[in-house]
C-alpha cells in the first residue's frame, strides 16, 4: 500500500544519539591532573644539609647576627644526594641565603646544572636573639622551659632578642613574591632554612606559624606561586636520602 501523501521521513537523530542497532555512548569524566597555572612560578624549596655540631666552648661565628656553621660530613653527603636527585630538573635560577650552609648544600647541584647561586638575604634563618651561636640547640637538648614556650605559644620572640613572627613573615613573604614575579612561567631552586621555609609554607596554607618547622635537612618542598596565591605541592620529600647513615657526635 502506498504511503499517504502527507507522510514525512523521521528526523535524523542528534549527534551521539543511539541508533536502532547501536547503543548510546555515555561520556565519562576522568579526574583532572594538576597543571601549573599560566604565569606561575615553581619554587623548589630545599632545607640545607645537616650542619656541624654546636660546642658550648666554641660558639658558631655569626653572620648578620645568625650562627654560621658549615655543613657536617653528613650534610655534605646529603648535598650530593640532593644533586643526584635534581640533576635532571631544569631551573631558571638558584637562590641561597647569606649563611654558608646553604651555599655548600647548593654547590654540587649548581655545578652540575651550570647555575650561579644568587644570595636572597630575606630568606635567611630566623634570628634567635640571646640564643644564637648554637645556644638554641643547647637549650632544646636541656629541656629549657623557655624553649618549650616557643612551641607552645608558636612564636620565636619568647626568646629575649629573637625575631617576631610578623617580621619573619613579612620578609620571607616579600622574597617569595619577588622571586615569583621575577621568574614567571619558570622554576627556581631556593636553598634556605627550616624556619624561613616554614614561614613561607605557613603563609601559603594559612596555617599556624610553626606548622611546618619539622622539615628535615636536605628535604624538598615545592610551592607554586601565581598572582599572589601560593599552592603547596610537596613537603619534606626525603626519598633521595634513603640509606644514608647518621653519625651522632
Domain at 41-126+163-240: CATH architecture: 3-Layer(aba) Sandwich (3.40)
Classify burial at 154, counting beta carbons within 10 Å of its beta carbon; exposed 0-12, middle 13-18, buried 19 or more: middle
pLDDT for 247: 57
pLDDT tens digits for 231-249? Answer: 999 999 999 999 997 654 3
**First and final C-alpha spacing in the chain:** 105
Contact 191, 179 (CB under 8 A): no
pLDDT tens digits for 76-128? Answer: 999 999 999 999 999 999 999 999 999 999 999 999 999 999 999 999 999 99
Measuring CA to CA, which residue among 197, 223, 236 is closest to residue 41?
A: 223
Long-range contacts of 140-143 (CB under 8 A, 24+ apart): none
Domain regions of the chain by residue span: 41-126+163-240
Contact 34, 224 (CB under 8 A): no
pLDDT for 226: 87
Contact 42, 34 (CB under 8 A): no
Dist CA 127 CA 119 (whole Å): 17
pLDDT tens digits for 15-70? Answer: 555 566 777 889 999 999 998 989 999 999 999 999 999 998 899 999 999 999 99
Dist CA 141 CA 119 (whole Å): 31
The cell numbers describing 135, all together, are: 645556644
Amino acid at each position: 500500500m502506498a504511503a499517504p501523501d502527507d507522510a514525512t521521513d523521521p528526523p535524523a537523530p542528534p549527534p551521539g544519539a543511539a541508533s536502532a542497532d547501536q547503543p548510546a555512548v555515555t561520556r565519562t569524566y576522568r579526574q583532572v591532573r594538576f597543571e601549573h597555572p599560566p604565569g606561575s612560578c615553581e619554587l623548589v624549596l630545599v632545607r640545607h644539609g645537616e650542619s656541624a655540631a654546636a660546642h658550648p666552648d666554641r660558639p658558631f661565628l655569626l653572620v648578620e647576627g645568625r650562627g654560621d656553621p658549615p655543613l657536617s660530613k653528613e650534610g655534605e653527603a646529603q648535598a650530593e644526594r640532593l644533586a643526584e636527585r635534581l640533576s635532571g630538573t631544569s631551573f631558571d635560577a638558584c637562590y641561597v641565603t647569606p649563611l654558608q650552609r646553604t651555599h655548600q648544600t647548593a654547590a654540587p647541584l649548581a655545578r652540575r646544572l651550570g647555575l650561579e647561586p644568587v644570595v636572597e638575604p630575606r630568606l635567611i634563618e630566623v634570628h634567635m636573639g640571646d640564643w644564637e651561636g648554637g645556644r638554641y640547640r643547647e637549650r632544646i637538648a636541656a629541656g629549657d622551659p623557655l624553649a618549650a614556650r616557643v612551641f607552645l605559644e608558636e612564636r620565636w620572640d619568647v626568646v629575649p632578642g629573637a625575631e617576631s613572627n610578623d617580621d619573619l613573615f613579612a620578609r620571607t613573604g616579600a622574597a617569595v613574591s619577588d622571586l615569583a614575579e621575577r621568574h614567571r612561567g619558570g622554576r627556581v631552586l631556593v636553598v634556605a632554612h627550616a624556619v624561613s621555609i616554614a614561614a613561607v609554607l605557613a603563609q601559603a596554607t594559612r596555617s599556624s606559624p610553626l606548622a611546618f618547622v619539622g622539615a628535615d635537612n636536605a628535604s624538598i618542598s615545592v610551592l607554586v606561586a601565581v598572582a599572589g596565591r601560593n599552592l603547596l605541592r610537596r613537603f619534606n620529600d626525603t626519598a633521595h636520602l634513603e640509606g644514608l647513615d647518621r653519625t651522632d657526635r
